[in-house]
Amino acid sequence: MTDTDAASLPAPRKLWLRALLMLLLCAAFHLAAWVLIAVAVLQLGFAIFTAGANLRLRTFGHSVGRYLAQIAAFVSFDTETPPFPFSDWPPAG
């Protein structure tokens, strides 16, 4: 490890807080993934019975996908901004 690598690491106290947030967000990731699966099954039902997708479910599914991406970015240290509920829910568009 070089001096510049050591300078970019957060303080130990912040690292513990981040680790706790990462654990909580991993649980949220799994819950949101199941919600996305439920949306996909509902959309399939709409497509079968009404010959088209539900616009509200499509919009919600898109925002859940963006939320999953935000969690992945945070837990992989790509961003320092924690996602919902510590910031706003991601918009669908």
Per-residue confidence at 52, pLDDT binned at 50, 70, 90?
confident
Residue 36 domain flag: yes
Mean pLDDT of all residues in 41-62 = 89
Residue 76 per-residue DSSP state: T
- Identify the residue with better confidence: 84 or 51: 84
What's the sign of the alpha-carbon dihedral 35, 41, 43, 45? negative
Confidence of residue 30 (pLDDT cuts 50, 70, 90): very high
Q: In this model, does residue 37 exceed pLDDT 70?
A: yes
Whole-model pTM: value is: 0.79
**Token output for 33:** 């993934």
What integer pLDDT is reported at residue 5 of this predicted model?
57
**What one-character-per-residue DSSP string does 29-85 give?**
HHHHHHHHHHHHHHHHHHHHHHSS--HHHHHHHHHHHHHHHHHHHHHTTS-SS--TT
Is residue 59 included in any domain, yes or no? yes
* Domain, as residue range, for 90: 26-93
In a domain, 69, yes or no: yes
The answer as to whether 31 is a domain residue is yes
Q: What end-to-end distance do the CA atoms of the chain give, in Å?
A: 41
Number of domains in the chain: 1
Q: Is residue 62 part of a domain?
A: yes
The residue-averaged pLDDT of 2-29 equals 78
